[in-house]
């Protein structure tokens, strides 16, 4: 199997509430076996500090679609569609598994590596799943 360096992307999701209490800060880590999504509420004067960090493991097979949104030749956003929306339902600003992540300046170069990496990992995951089904069918018959 090809060894690929992890890709780390820092992002935020703008607040959807009028007072700005639900702004999300987070980090995506694209690891060899899965994507680790860590997020927390930014915190505000009203809530008194930062929210608690939550981490979700997303298998590459759960990532249905990735789109890099560019503006003025720079990657500004990543749009992720998650196959099982219940995995990310608790994150403010996420709608039916669609996540629009605004990329921090420090992560824009890393973001360029994403499309090929996810396509490769998702293909490997699907191939492994087909192979498992084929092996179990052979074992039954």
In a domain, 128, yes or no: yes
* CATH value at residue 72: 2.30.29.30
Q: Supply the DSSP symbol for 33.
A: S
pTM above 0.75, yes or no: no
- pLDDT tens figures, 1-55: 444 577 888 998 988 877 777 889 999 998 888 889 999 988 755 555 567 889 9
Query: Which residue, among 68, 57, 54, 56, has the nearest Cα to 117 in the 3D structure?
Result: 68
Domain count along the chain: 1
Q: Is residue 1 part of a domain?
A: no
Which bin fits 94, alpha (ψ -120 to 50), beta or left (φ > 0)? beta
Backbone φ and ψ of 33, nearest 5°: -100, -25
**CA 17 to chain CA centroid, nearest Å:** 22
Q: Tens digit of pLDDT for each residue in 52-108?
A: 889 999 988 888 888 878 787 777 888 889 999 999 999 988 999 899 999 887 777
Q: Which two tokens stand for residue 129?
A: 């799943």
Q: Which domain holds residue 130?
A: 7-140
What CA–CA distance (Å, rounded) separates 102 from 26?
A: 10
Q: For residue 2, is it within any domain?
A: no
Cα dist from 58 to 71, 81, 121, whole Å:
28, 12, 12
């Amino acid at each position: 199997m090809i060894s690929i360096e992890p890709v780390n992307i820092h992002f935020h999701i703008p607040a959807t509430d009028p007072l700005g209490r639900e702004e999300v800060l987070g980090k995506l880590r694209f690891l060899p076996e899965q994507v680790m999504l860590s997020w927390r509420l930014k915190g505000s004067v009203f809530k008194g500090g930062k929210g608690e960090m939550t981490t979700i493991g997303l298998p590459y097979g759960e990532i249905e679609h990735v789109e890099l949104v560019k503006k003025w030749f720079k990657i500004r956003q990543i749009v992720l569609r998650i196959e099982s929306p219940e995995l990310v339902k608790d994150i403010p600003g996420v709608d039916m598994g669609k996540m629009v992540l605004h990329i921090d300046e420090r992560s824009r170069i890393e973001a360029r590596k994403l499309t090929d990496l996810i396509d490769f990992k998702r293909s490997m995951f699907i191939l492994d799943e087909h192979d498992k089904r084929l092996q179990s069918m052979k074992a039954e018959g």
